[in-house]
Amino acid sequence: MWAAGVSRRFGEGPLTTHFSPSPVGLGLSRSSWKPRMTAHPDWGTTDHIQSQMEHRDSAQGALVTARAAVRRTRLLGPATMALSLLWLGLTLLGALQTQAQGTIPNWIPAPPLSKVPLQPNFQADQFQGKWYVVGLAGNAVKKEEQGRFKMYTTTYELKEDGSYNVISTLLRGQLCDNWIRTFVPSLQPGQFKLGDIKKYSGLQSYVVRVVSTNYSQFAIVFFKKVSNNQEYFKTTLYGRTKVLSPELKENFVRFAKSLGLSDDNIIFPVAIEYAAINSMLDQINSCLDHLEEKNDHLHARLQELLESNRQTRLEFQQQLGEAPSDASP
């Protein structure tokens, strides 16, 4: 599961089609065999894992239904058997399409690890500490999410066995949400794998690779995972502070594009303070608009009162004989 999520928040991907056949009588009802369009969710989020489980269960259910249909066709006549086998074939086709998660249209393939640089002479003790996620890019990241994707922090705590206890802290609404996992070192210094991977349903592999860092200012880290036979990758620009120089950001963009990503796959999360200020300004503008509307209403009401007062004065003067009926005040 990826932080923020990236929330959950990293955005929705291409649509995939799933078929939900249901047995009716001796065969399958044609009207019940309809495609269900669902958005391919962010990789690593709870929603993504749940969706992958549903896809797997749907395919398994279709295969169970197909096996039962085969057993039933043995009792049918030749014509009915042929029709039943036709629908059986369509059912299996839908099941196979559901399982084919690796054929998403326009999906950017993950590069081999051999093509991803590794920080020379990696110093695990210097890398530990708090990092801000200043930039994010990946094949499941969408540019349109930049405005609502808030900056978060990831803290690496070095343990005695050389692994990292990794804690990501995200702001969800008005509450802080912590996500904890373990990165276990590999034979190559600077490369890690996710510990206790079996507890993550559908997750087959998860590799972390420190691409470049000066430890005191920035770090670029590459992540690659395989979930339900689908490869995902992302790269993160870490900063010891919330603001990094334009040169460091440009270097991050160049690296992301070297992985096959485009500008549409690169975002720079909004710092919490800036997001709060923008929200406050929006509220102020809303209040000003409301006051302007209220002021217009009060102005119109004042004009009505002045006109009413003028008419009252005219009527009073007429009664006293002080002014003709067409006199002005």
Six-digit token pair at 274?
């800036």
pLDDT in tens, 168-185: 998 877 778 899 999 999
pLDDT in tens, 183-192: 999 999 999 9
Q: Over the chain, what is the mean pLDDT?
A: 74
The CATH superfamily holding the domain 113-270 is Calycin beta-barrel core domain (2.40.128.20)
Percentage of the residues of the chain whose pLDDT score is greater than 70: 60
Six-digit token pair at 64?
């169970």
Supply the pLDDT for residue 312.
80
Contact in structure between 67 and 23 (CB atoms under 8 Å): no
What predicted TM-score, i.e. pTM, was given to this entire model?
0.57
Contact in structure between 10 and 39 (CB atoms under 8 Å): no
> What's the pLDDT band for 153 if we cut at 50, 70, 90?
very high
CA distance 109 to 265: 13
